[in-house]
Chain A
Amino acid sequence: MSVTVGTTVRVLQMDPPGHHRTPRFVRGKEGVVIGLAGRMPDAERLAYGGRGPDQPVWRVRFRQTTLWPDYVGDPRDTVVLDLYEHWLEPRR
């Protein structure tokens, strides 16, 4: 199964050394892909002088109540992040 618009994804719960663009507050959480942000240079390699092929970066929408169990506000409130595909595990 591959990642595309509409896919429910789980952000990998990993803690690699170095530079990366996946905030901790979404690691291990499930969200839904709402669009392609673009194909972008891999920031994790770029930070150390490498380039490699451009990576798909997906716009992923998370429900606030998924991220913060004690969230105060409308249960429909959401956060959208731009995440590199190799951090995303397709679920359904």
Chain B
Amino acid sequence: MTHAHDGHGHGHDGHVHPHPRQPDIEDAPLTWHMALTEAMAELIVQKGLCTPADIHRTLEKIDAASPAAGGRLVARAWLDPDFRARLLQDVNAAAGELGIDAGGIPIRAVADTPDLHNVIVCTLCSCYPRFLLGGSPDWYKSKAYRARVVREPRAVLAEFGLDLPEGVQIEVHDSTAELRYLVLPERPTGTEGWSEDELAAIVTRDCLIGTALPVAA
């Protein structure tokens, strides 16, 4: 392929500037944890515990999961008190009623009240209901969030733009064992008569973690 004018140069002065090379993922060396992960995956496959296809299916499932699923659960709970009771009893089973696969790890919903606000963290690592909501945000995994939200939750929430009214108590839930957590926020005023889809749309990921509250847009 030839150009009609001065070959491959882009400058007016005829100098040739090569395109910067697109960096490859492999340009950075493997970190210790990356090498460990690769080794573990190879061993698991070699031992016949699962196949590479199983691993990819699971990763695709997590990537396909979205906070919108949590929004649907919350919206239904706002509209249907019986569903709300079942959601508080067993999130995984309640999700199944709506055709949502929340995965095999048990999830517990913690309900806000006018006087109580719930916030979720995993101080030890980064446990998160990822089969229901997809991958967690980077800040959720940061040491700063994990260390500070149990120590000074009000300051952390204020940095998220959430200033709780005077008199509202905060309860922080630290997922230290096998349970994953989800906040069931209060339905905001100004949403009277809204459809389930309209309600679900205002329940963002951060509302489900407790670092934001749904607002009537």
* CB proximity of A82 to chain B, nearest CB, Å: 4
* Inter-chain contacts of A23 with B (CB < 8 A): 123-124, 174, 176
Bound-state Cα–Cα, A80 to B179, Å? 12
In the complex, whether A72 has a CB less than 8 A from a CB of chain B is yes
A contact residues around B176 at 8 Å (CB): 21-23, 81-83
A55 to chain B, nearest CB (A): 9
- Chain B positions 21-37 with a Cβ under 8 Å from a chain A Cβ: none
Q: Are A78 and B169 closer than 8 Å at their CB atoms?
A: yes
**Total contacts A-B at CB 8 Å:** 73
By the criterion CB–CB under 8 Å, are A21 and B172 in contact?
no
Rounded to whole Å, the gap between the CB of A17 and the closest CB of chain B is 16
Produce 1/0 per residue, A52-75, CB < 8 A to B. 000001000100000110011110
Tell me which of A41, A43, A71, A82 contacts B179 (CB under 8 A). A82
Of the candidates A41, A57, A74, A81, the one whose C-beta lies within 8 Å of that of B174 is A81
Chain A interface residues toward B at CB < 8 A: 21-23, 25, 37-38, 40-41, 43, 57, 61, 67-68, 71-74, 76-84
